[in-house]
Structure formats: C-alpha cells, structure tokens
C-alpha cells in the first residue's frame, strides 16, 4: 500500500481492522484504514485533531 502523500510504502497488517490508524514511516502522515466489502483496503487521511485536553 502506497502513501497517498509521498508514495512511500506503508505496511498494512493483514488483520488490520476498519478504522485503525497507520502512520507512514516516510512522511509521518496518519491514515485511517477503510475496508470495504471486507477485502479492499483503502487509506483515508486521518483527522489530526491533535491532543484535546478539554480545556
């Protein structure tokens, strides 16, 4: 699976579950795993909201 940002190689675990977050080792971007039909895996740009400590 290639990083949509930098085309780097992102390793997706075989048992990765829908909604799991993976990070690109090259550019550090976070992506959310989106599985459709239980087989096709896509990467969605994860919402990087940052740490919200509720202040």
User: Interface with Zn ion by CB under 5 A: which residues?
Assistant: 3, 5-6, 8, 24, 26-27
**Measured between alpha carbons, how far is 9 from 7 in angstroms, rounded to an integer?**
7
Least spacing, CB of residue 55 vs Zn ion, in Å: 31
Decide: 31 and 22 in contact? Cβ < 8 Å.
Answer: yes
Minimum distance between the CB of residue 26 and Zn ion, rounded to whole angstroms? 4
Measured from the CB atom, the residue of 19 and 28 that comes closer to Zn ion is: 28
d(CA 35, CA 38): 6
Which is nearer to Zn ion, 9 or 18 (by Cβ)?
Answer: 9
């Amino acid at each position: 699976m290639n990083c949509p940002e930098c085309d780097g190689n992102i390793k997706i675990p075989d048992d990765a579950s829908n909604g799991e977050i993976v990070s690109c080792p090259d550019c550090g971007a976070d992506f959310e795993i989106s599985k459709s039909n239980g087989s096709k895996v896509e990467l969605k740009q994860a919402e990087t909201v940052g740490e919200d400590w509720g202040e």
